[in-house]
Amino acid sequence: MAVHNDDMRFRQLASAATFALTLTWQAASGELPPTAQRCLELLDESETAGITDETVRVCAEAAKESREGLVLYGDVLLTQENAEGAIEYYSKALAGVDVMKSSDFTTLAALRRRAVEYYRQENRTLAFQDAVAYLEHEPEDEFIVFIAAYAAPSAEAGLPFIERAIELEPDDIYNYALYARLLARVGKTREALAAVDKASKIAPKDPRIFTIKGLTYGLMGEHAKAERFHAQAVRAAPTEPQPKVNRADSLIELGRYEEAIALATAALQDRANYFEALQTRATAHLAMGDGDAALADIEQAKAVRPQWNASEQRERAEKLIRIHQTLS
């Protein structure tokens, strides 16, 4: 289970605030280029007035003058939900920099932001690379340690990171949720259930516990039990799409494809073009042999997340369509 978007965005904004404070100090010391200083002032004003055309223009100019400006303009693009553009500008701020050796604040700010955005986009390879590089300089940043654990190339590689995240933040249920999943993936079921139990004790009334239990039991192959917990999660958060998708995934494992399609469709009513719901519904359509419906969902999901590698599912859908055309 990835970090909830609201929580993740809070942590990202906290990082942005720290960067802004550092730039404010640089501006007071005369170390910040004038345009970047003005961009910073406008961004500070935007907390109440919102991002204006003037803010965008000035920060775009700042990006032409300094590395600090590049990072600030990346932040502007994030406020416009342009993650790809933000990554581009963070990358420009890091161009020519040896991120394993350089520890100036602008480098670390750009590197941290880029790691988070790669994580948000499920680009695990690049998220892991940036997280590991950042942790060379800031080893106690618990959120980035969490990202390294989540994005690690294997469960075995992720376990040391999540254990470190728990040391740094022992009362975070997300850490125990990921710990349980990684333990389940390496076959340590007793330890996985102990991690779930720890999360339950930290937040016994938190409805996310149902999701944590459902995902863990699913990884252990106990799909009927997982489905029951996901059903409880849906009841606890009836307007959230992800619990419905999680339950639909369990229903697919149980061969209940029509119910899975209905749940994924309901998730899309909660949030249009929700990638995970489209992906799950495509899987259910494929299991039912409906290549046309599967291909439609695949194309829509690909439009939402272009970097998604859908080649295997697309090939299966197109094969089903050819078979249907041959038989009709």
Asked if 183 contacts 195 with a C-beta cutoff of 8 angstroms, the reply is yes
pLDDT > 70: percent of the chain: 90
Residue 61 lies in a domain: yes
Residue 170 lies in a domain: no
Mean pLDDT calculated for residue range 70-77: 92
**Containing structural domain, residue 43:** 17-95
Residue 119 lies in a domain: no
Residue 185 lies in a domain: no
- Split at pLDDT 50, 70, 90, the class of 37 is confident
- Split at pLDDT 50, 70, 90, the class of 11 is very low
- Split at pLDDT 50, 70, 90, the class of 307 is confident
Mean pLDDT calculated for residue range 129-156: 95
Asked if 59 contacts 69 with a C-beta cutoff of 8 angstroms, the reply is yes
Residue 71 lies in a domain: yes
Q: Which residue has the tokens 């400006």?
A: 69
Chain segment 287-297, per-residue pLDDT in tens: 999 999 999 99
The whole-number pLDDT of residue 14 equals 46
Lowest mean pLDDT among 279-283, 301-305, 320-324: 320-324
Residue 235 lies in a domain: no
Assign 3-class secondary structure to 166-189.
Answer: HHHCCCCHHHHHHHHHHHHHCCCH
Please provide the average confidence, as pLDDT, over all residues in the chain.
88
- Higher-scoring residue by pLDDT: 34, 148: 148
Residue 22 lies in a domain: yes
pTM: predicted TM-score of the whole model, two decimal places: 0.80
Give me the number of domains the chain comprises.
1
Residue 4 lies in a domain: no
Chain segment 258-290, per-residue pLDDT in tens: 999 999 999 999 999 999 999 999 999 999 999
